[in-house]
Structure 1
């Protein structure tokens, strides 16, 4: 069984969030403690949103369509609330879940299954008592219904390659007066890295793995509703692994030094140690210049390496289908 793993490094840019309509006067970035320092982060849900939106823009059938013209604010519009992982690519790749509350019967709502036993009842013969207890235990509480499919595509949080230094700008909303007309925005000039994993055998349509690759190397804005700043989230460098190994072994492999040089020392160490077969690696973009002697499949461009790997994936899936 084949698995596809990847670690993506974005271009250098300025990350910031716009305010929502009901938010206060500070627009913070998400942060986490990483390697003993504070780094900024972008959620995997934001990346998945951007992937679905990229599919929508190129014409794939998606169940959860983004409507920028919805009122009062932009929102998703469902095409089929019953879901369809054959028809819709996002239902197949990203999964879904709908939970319905239990439907109570009239007798249940009136407490018919929980009536108390009086002292007179306790005086009845043991046979009658056993019959009454049996009736109460035999009535089961109604259960809710869950319609769900686990997402096949797994995406990590994106983490900045350098710590957050606390940059903040102060702004005013033109033409407005009020407690929110003056506001502050946190800004982080950085790159981000994140990883993903996908097992095509778990897809209803295995060929959709190719659409996943196309989408992830083409996404731009990542935060959806209120984060309308332009930050290029497409890869500057990408490392992919097409393998029978069920573990990626190289997530968050990019490191940036004080001179802004990008290296992948842990990836190199794992290849040299024999934990990763270099022939399983497909590397493209800026990082490829330093890894030409690694023994991997190295390409100068991100699109070129993805197209080459897509051909290999398609051939391997066809061979598996025949066998």
Structure 2
């Protein structure tokens, strides 16, 4: 941001936001949140439609020292209300879409910061970065709390620290070239942890993120994106519609099983140079294993090997390593 404040950070439809503007907007809102009493480890909910203001809100919560609790206004109201009741945030960043999704009864028990205010009360606050040391913020404090799908029981809030998130970003910067990250599609709901990668990897590397409703938006509006990070079912739909942009060099597949036939279809129908398969539960910070398959090399169905500062163990029912080729339970350790 300091080196190239005029560089484009976010593109959303016809709106383009520079790094300098994005940082200033996030800082002013962060100072407002600090004045409202936000402290390290404090959950702060955000329920807004997909827009640059959403990115500003996420950054502002982090800059203020809080842990963001993402609420997608497209989700069913009972689900959103369940998350709010469990996380019990005192503050909620909201817009009209968020208000409609949550309902007036829910909003009575929380302080609402309206991001759609024409002249926000924080507009005249300093555009300078809040000092993490003055806030008492450390790498061990929470960055976000994302709730699981609840497919195996009641949804649970997964609490992830700054250090774990930074490890993910640092790993990515070491394995992907700047040109590959330079124009990243941000299509995943912020209530799904793939969004952590899509939002913060490009911003941490001075790249541009292209904010859309979902990956299938590329079928209606082709974008000049270099990297797509999404689930195999969405990749398959893009291939079926011949909607993988010609500019895309890397596709990251995650969240579902990636089959060899889909990999081959992508290579046969697009100019993509490599497909990476990434895996992890939310509890270990978005991705813990990966394998990258360049065009022209062998296609394999595997979740690959550990990312940086991560260890993978296959253990039996007694917690002992299983022999090579035997079935075991997957245990993940390390910085995530």
Fold match (TM-score > 0.5): no
- The structure with the largest alpha-carbon Rg is 1
